[in-house]
Amino acid sequence: MIADCAVYEEGQRRAGDLPLEEACEASQKDGAFVWLGVIAPSAEEFDAIAREFDLHELAVEDAIKAHQRPKVELYGETLLVVLKSARYVDSEEVIETGEILLFVNPAFIISVRHGEASALAAVRKRVEERGDLLRSGPAAVLYAILDRVVDDYEAAAQGVEDDIQEVEQQVFSPERINPAERIYKLEREVLDFHRAVAPLAQAVDQLARGHFQLIPAALHEYLRDVHDHLLRVSSRITGFRDLLTSALHATLTQVSVRQNEDMRKITAWVAILAVPTMMAGIYGMNFKYMPELGWKFGYPAALGVILVVCALLYRRFKRAGWL
């Protein structure tokens, strides 16, 4: 589906939507370029676009299948940038990833979006307000999209961090919650997230260092800024993995400690209960000559002794912290 298709000239959007062919033609003009936004295109839809803009066979395949690794690649004059977009769905503790492919050329930028995350309409609006950047051509749009996607990474990372803090509290809470499954699932999400973010850093570094003529020098500092944010997110995510591994180990320790506490509590009670059973057994013996049995207050005395011994035991266990 084509979301939006506009021609930008001298940092301004030319009024009105254009059909594909006219846009392509308009983009040939000096100082003008087209931004074509496409969402989850079908093979036929994208074939038409590819033919119009003369895109490379392999790049087109990538655009439709959408399971690429983040990368920057030059096909002839056209740069293909593949990004993973990410957003944190707190209710399911899941990072939902999408994919954005950008075909960038002096004359056009085609953005192909798969998945919900990082809607580009907002980016377009923001970019159109900054004529100074737009004058740098399609690369400025590339920067704006990268900036947005990386900002969304940070939001997703924050979501994960909040959940990790919740999990930490569960691990060490006196309540008997078993956070193992939650920790494991967060670990899996973090792994996927890492796979989305880490390769992009390298790609953006190439863009920022001026490996591609397409990127005007004025944008290098902006892209370096994006690169920096990526490194920060990336190191946070690496930290998450270490934390979650430790949290899983700590959970195991906590479970063992609790088991030990339970065992001692249980045993203390068993010991307290064993005393009356034993004493009652002794006075249940059938010897003929057991003087206590004939005493008037033998029975209450026996009960009393039992109670006292149990109370002493109870106090002792209490003091030792077993109860």
| Footprint (CB under 8 A) of its own copies, residues 30-89 | 56, 58, 67-69, 71, 73, 75
| One of 55, 95, 140, 302 touching its own copies (CB under 8 A) | 302
Q: Is 287 in the site for its own copies (CB under 8 A)?
A: yes
Subset of residues 9 to 28 that bind its own copies, contact rule: CB under 8 A? none
Name the residue with tokens 């973090």: 190
| One of 122, 218, 290, 311 touching its own copies (CB under 8 A) | 290
Q: Is 94 in the site for its own copies (CB under 8 A)?
A: no
Burial class (CB in 10 A: 0-12, 13-18, 19+), 288: exposed
For residue 170, the minimal CB distance to its own copies (Å) is 12
Pairwise CA distance, residues 52 & 49, whole Å: 5
Site size for its own copies, by CB under 8 A? 89
Mutual orientation of helices 138-172 and 121-128 as an angle, nearest 10°? 130
Q: Which of 207, 189, 92, 102 is nearest to 149 (CA)?
A: 102
Pairwise CA distance, residues 295 & 65, whole Å: 95
> What is the sign, positive or negative, of the torsion defined by CA atoms of 28, 29, 33, 34?
negative
For residue 14, the minimal CB distance to its own copies (Å) is 27
Subset of residues 195 to 224 that bind its own copies, contact rule: CB under 8 A? 195, 199, 221-222, 224
Subset of residues 138 to 157 that bind its own copies, contact rule: CB under 8 A? none
Pairwise CA distance, residues 135 & 138, whole Å: 9
Q: Is 314 in the site for its own copies (CB under 8 A)?
A: no
For residue 257, the minimal CB distance to its own copies (Å) is 5
Looking at the Cβ atoms of 45 and 225, the one nearer to its own copies is 225
Q: Is 174 in the site for its own copies (CB under 8 A)?
A: no
For residue 307, the minimal CB distance to its own copies (Å) is 11
| One of 38, 183, 197, 203 touching its own copies (CB under 8 A) | 183
Please count the other Cβ atoms lying within 10 Å of the Cβ belonging to residue 16: 8
Q: Is 3 in the site for its own copies (CB under 8 A)?
A: no
For residue 7, the minimal CB distance to its own copies (Å) is 27
Q: Helix, strand, coil shares of the chain as percentages rounded to 5? A: 60, 15, 20
| One of 121, 216, 262, 308 touching its own copies (CB under 8 A) | 262
Q: Is 319 in the site for its own copies (CB under 8 A)?
A: no
Q: Is 311 in the site for its own copies (CB under 8 A)?
A: no
- What one-character DSSP code corresponds to residue 33? E
For residue 93, the minimal CB distance to its own copies (Å) is 14
| One of 156, 171, 201, 214 touching its own copies (CB under 8 A) | 171
For residue 76, the minimal CB distance to its own copies (Å) is 9
Please count the other Cβ atoms lying within 10 Å of the Cβ belonging to residue 291: 7
- What one-character DSSP code corresponds to residue 1? -
Task: Evaluate whether 17 touches 90 at the Cβ level (below 8 Å).
Answer: no
Please tell me the number of Cα atoms within 13 Å of 149 on its side-chain side: 35
For residue 65, the minimal CB distance to its own copies (Å) is 11
